[in-house]
Amino acid sequence: MNNGMKHYPGMLERPAQEALVSDLRQCVQKAPLFVPLMPRTGTPFSVRMTNLGGLGWVSDRAGYRYQALHPDLGTPWPQIPPAILDIWRAISGFQADPEACLINFYQGTAKMGLHQDKDEEEFAAPVVSISLGDTAIFRFGGTSRGGKTQSLKLSSGDVLVMSGESRLCFHGIDRVMTGTSTLLKEGGRINLTLRRVTKA
Ligand code: SIN
Ligand code: FE2
């Protein structure tokens, strides 16, 4: 696998996954999912998203950025629940807590094109990604666009860490395999992406 990329299949057992989903349902009531738009073109993303933590990642015609307030409500994002911080603390190897937890919700044919996570100031901290619900085909390559890529299945309860060289690798979601998990009543997939944004 890419240098610094680590996959922990089934790190979260079913009860822990269920507890996370119930935490997330409460959070999404306070910070509803929104449809991000591509910078300039305004094309809607196929995923819906929201955030937890002091800073949330948003995208609209003006560009990609982190901001402290929900774009529709103008209210602060809910705090990152302790169970999610515990996963970061157990696995990131980084001394400071994450400031952002992006929640991506995939339904139906939603996918995510290859991109780098590079809107942060602190690249010494890894990206920690948690998968819940239906299995996704994750694609990743190196740090330049157009290079060779490989794919990896991410299933409910899996945790993926991108650190070192892989911190800035191109990655995305080709598709989600409908009906592969019973975790979410309405089906689909939730991905949580934890990131340190400012210099620790
Ligand atoms: C992302 O890179 O923002 C999402 C990755 C995923 O859904 O696993
Ligand atoms: Fe990403």
Nearest protein Cα to ligand 1, atom 5? 172
pTM of the model: 0.97
pLDDT in tens, the chain (200 residues): 679 999 999 999 999 999 999 999 999 999 999 999 999 999 999 999 999 999 999 999 999 999 999 999 999 999 999 999 999 999 999 999 999 999 999 999 999 999 999 999 999 999 999 999 999 999 999 999 999 999 999 999 999 999 999 999 999 999 999 999 999 999 999 999 999 999 99
Q: How far is the CA of 73 from the centre of ligand 1 (A)?
A: 24
Ligand nearest to the CA of 158: 1
- At residue 2, the pLDDT reads 74
**8 A C-beta contact, residue 57 and residue 77:** no
DSSP-derived secondary structure letter, 125: S
Q: Is 153 among the domain residues?
A: yes
Return the CATH number at 145.
2.60.120.590
CA 84 to chain centre: 12
Q: Is 18 among the domain residues?
A: yes
Q: Is 94 among the domain residues?
A: yes
- Spatial CB neighbours of 25, under 8 Å, sequence gap ≥ 6: none
- Spatial CB neighbours of 86, under 8 Å, sequence gap ≥ 6: none
Domain that holds residue 111: 5-195
Q: Is 200 among the domain residues?
A: no
Q: How many domains does the chain have?
A: 1
- Which atom from ligand 1 is nearest to the alpha carbon of 117? 2
CA 103 to chain centre: 6
Q: Is 171 among the domain residues?
A: yes
Q: Is 38 among the domain residues?
A: yes
Q: Is 79 among the domain residues?
A: yes
